[in-house]
Amino acid sequence: MTTTTSRHPLAGTPAPKDLLCDVPALLAAFHDRRPDPGAPAERVAFGTSGHRGSPLKGSFQQDHVLAVAQAIAEHRDAAGLDGPLFLGRDTHALSAPAADLVAEVLAANGVTVVVQSGGQPAPTPVVSWRILVENEGTDAASDGVVVTPSHNPPEDGGLKYNPPEGGPADSATTSAIERRANEILEDGLRDVRRASLDHARREGLLREEDWRLDYVRDLDAVLDMEAIARARLRLGADPLGGAALGMWDLVNEVWGTSIETTCRAVDPTFSFLRVDHDGRLRMDCSSAAAMAGLVELAERFDLAFGNDPDADRHGIVVPGIGLLAPNLVLAASIDYLLSTRRGWSPEAGVGKTVVSSALIDRVVEHAGRSLVEVPVGFKFLAPGLLDGDLCFGGEESAGASFLRLDGTTWTTDKDGIVVNLLAAECLATTGEDLGRRVAGLEERFGRSFYRRVDLPAEPSLRRRIASLEPSSLGISSLAGDPIESAITRAPGNGASIGGIKVSTRSGWFAARPSGTEDIVKIYAESMLGEDHLERILEQAREVLR
């Protein structure tokens, strides 16, 4: 869960009217404002998962979308990809118009674009699943785009490219697309081709499929759906106004489960949300403040869960406990999966980001599996899930996916839907919810005290932290313990972590600058207690000044 050292007085309360975005003004800025390619903040910039921004800041305009779509079309041509492209989106106000622009450009470039039937949104994991199904046993010529800024505020927009491997594109691919898109912007969009949606439909270049239903029908390949249905669990789900809305009805229809969607509101202002920890509206299913509405209903259910707008993140709510921290969900899910998935190769490892909890390390070691640590970003976990080297991949920000029951690939992007349903499977088959499973893990391996703090940082400080070397820290101990390691590259793949991580036997901190905001993210964990965690954070702040 993303946390800071202070909590806004409105956190967890219904959104006041003065916090809601002006959607007509937002759309006008999106269509009418021209970005300045000479201003760094107004250029196309792919972060860990796509380009994100806001029209109100000049960072997500119509021109950005057109340029990125044209760059993707040219990338496909150069890569020899001639299969259909699967275009999904979430429910942010900008997502539908941006998705239409992507379809116009791709169709004009001769790309067959497939969208969810009925003009409905399609979650990120469904797009990843559909790409992999299309490419199975072929030359892998299909790919996808998802138009979403993830859990970002209502005034933001975003889009990401998923190559034929199904997951987020690697850094080389996104760098090439970013570079070409900025060239197109600088040249006044002269190379952008566009065709009307009507023309695209007439030419067979834009068609619809009901991927969501097909995905739901396939869920028994990755989960014990019959066990969930037999247990007749009282399950609650809050899609937070996102693309998971309607998915739970389909699960009930196909599998006979009893999942109650607690909020069916869809509103581009997201006026039904609870205020997040910092006083902003954010559809973060890993935030107790944003999920306060579902947490208040927890005692009505045996288990409840939520998703962010593109449903690639999970949020698990347990009665008597509340929202489980994402790291604890990962640890308990891994523990359950490694004890039940007989079809998985014993050689397959478990992947996590370097800023995820050390509790995961202990669970994986106890199970006799190898641990693979990668930088922040699910794109670093996707290759292992594709080739089976990883049976599970998870990141600290409530994203994960895992293999099918037979050990083959399910998705290579984060799948909040199956992680939520896995929590239901665990309860159905063992009688134990993830909260109780976490308590058992902490009894065996120790309790985790984890926090992320965002500190304001000017560009010069962000650059300095991004280039830190262990030798420049000038410390030999952390919160009283000898430093055992200080790394700038991930042990699992040798890639730069974009910052530094310092570890002792009982705790660690990591620091990395944001790629899109003037902040530095400090992650820290103690296996001793809150006081020890505070000492780690205090020393981390001193070192980073």
Residues 6+ apart with CB under 8 A from 505: 481, 484
Q: Residue 251: enclosing H or E segment and its boundaries? A: helix 247-255
Residue 538: phi and psi, rounded to 5, are -60, -45
Cβ contact 359:365 at 8 Å: no
Q: Which of 138, 160, 147 is nearest to 49 (CA)?
A: 160
Biggest alpha carbon–alpha carbon distance for the chain: 70
Phi-psi region of 232 (alpha: psi -120 to 50; beta: other; left: phi over 0): left
The residues with which 455 forms a beta bridge, in sequence order, are 520
CA-to-CA distance for 542 and 536, rounded, in angstroms? 10
Structure letter (DSSP) for residue 117:
G
Cα torsion 433, 439, 442, 448: sign: positive
Cβ contact 207:79 at 8 Å: no
CA-to-CA distance for 137 and 296, rounded, in angstroms? 47
Q: How would you class 476 by CB atoms within 10 Å of its CB: exposed for 0-12, middle for 13-18, buried for 19 or more?
A: exposed
Scored b (16 or more CB within 10 A) or e, 140-154 reads bbbbbbbbbbbbbbb
Cβ contact 304:237 at 8 Å: yes
CA-to-CA distance for 357 and 501, rounded, in angstroms? 13
CA-to-CA distance for 453 and 7, rounded, in angstroms? 12
Cβ contact 273:309 at 8 Å: no
How many Cβ atoms from other residues are within 10 Å of residue 133's Cβ?
15
Dig out the tokens for 18 from the structure.
């003065």
- Catalytic machinery residues: 150
Q: What is the DSSP string of 76-96?
A: HHHHT--S-EEEEE-SSTTHH
Q: What is the separation of C-alpha 231 from the centre of its chain, rounded to a whole number of angstroms? A: 30
Q: Is 83 helix (H, G, I), strand (E, B) or coil?
A: coil
CA-to-CA distance for 268 and 245, rounded, in angstroms? 14
CA-to-CA distance for 336 and 433, rounded, in angstroms? 11
